[in-house]
Amino acid sequence: MLFCDTYLMPTSLPEALAVWQSAPDGSRLVAGATDLLPWAREGRAGDVHLPQLVDVSRVAELDGHTIEDGRVRLGANVVYQAFLEDETLKAHLPCMPYCSVWFADDQIRRQATLAGNIVNASPAADGTPPMAALNADVEIASLDGATVSRRTVPMAEFISGPGKTTLQAGDIVTAVICDSCLGYGGSFEKVGQRRSLVISTVCASALVKTSTDGLHFEDVRLALGGIGPVPVRLNEIEQRLIGQPISDELVADVSTATEGLVNSRTRREYRGDVVQGFIRRALTNAISDCLKSPATSSSQEQQVSHV
């Protein structure tokens, strides 16, 4: 069971920061709370007593998304379901619909936030590999006297280990800011110990942009989760692919370049086998998704019309 002495729901960011800054030790900040409640369930953490719960789900400054200068700003209250329903987000972040459909179930997706998933910093988090591939930064707010101060930290630096981030006392994550990958194809692969509501043993996310004729890799983004304490971006494999002709043989070849990637404490051999298959499948599916995208199809049709 989960108990708290005080439950507060601020409605503005300055109010939320003031409340959170003065919260007693041991308090928790929540938006969707989908990680907190299972953690507190009897049999895992037992009975949990918190002096204060601060719920920021009604803070309007944390809602919605904007796109500017090739970057997408996702407010901290954006939930996973948005990546399945919002056509703009689906187009600009093409790996996220595939990630989201794997994320828990319909009810949880409408409550769980991407920012909360990142702050939780689980090695098995579904949201961190796609955000690593999208070069995400984490926007953080704090109070400097009565003034709201903001800073951004690359996600690769923000998550420092299992359950560990660079957040300081009084900090609140206000947004996740990532690249727009409009015109790319996306994919997400995941495996766990059951078929539904599964926690990742390994997950992989890929983004691929092909040349206008669909024959070469113009850009490739590839990241893995569940294989170590933090998500891993596969920069060397990406560089081997960029500019090269697309072929099954090349994709199969790079998928074997996985020595030393798995850094988990358990099931290393199994994870190593899965990683090779996931790299190959993630790239193949992202290529297929790119070739189906409206931007790529339009370019190919224009080329044909000029022949």
Report domain extents, the chain: 2-55, 61-179, 185-296
pLDDT at 12: 97
pLDDT at 62: 98
For residue 139, the number of C-alpha atoms closer than 13 Å in the C-beta half-sphere is 18
pLDDT at 209: 98
Q: Which fold has domain 61-179?
A: 3.30.465
Please give the CATH number for the structural domain made up of 2-55. Answer: 3.30.43
Q: How far apart are CA 237 and CA 242, in angstroms?
A: 9
Q: For the domain with range 185-296, which CATH number is right: 3.30.390.50, 3.90.550.10, 3.40.50.1970, 3.40.50.1370?
A: 3.30.390.50
pLDDT for residue 192 is more than 70: no
- Write out pLDDT tens, residues 32-90: 888 777 667 654 556 788 999 999 999 999 999 999 999 999 999 999 999 999 999 99
Q: How far apart are CA 291 and CA 206, in angstroms?
A: 14
DSSP states of 159-176 as a string? EEETTEES--TT-EEEEE
Q: Which residues contact 250 (CB under 8 A, 6 or more apart)?
A: 241, 244
**What average pLDDT score do residues 247-264 get?**
88
- Write out pLDDT tens, residues 218-239: 999 999 998 889 999 999 999 9
pLDDT at 307: 23
pLDDT for residue 182 is more than 50: yes
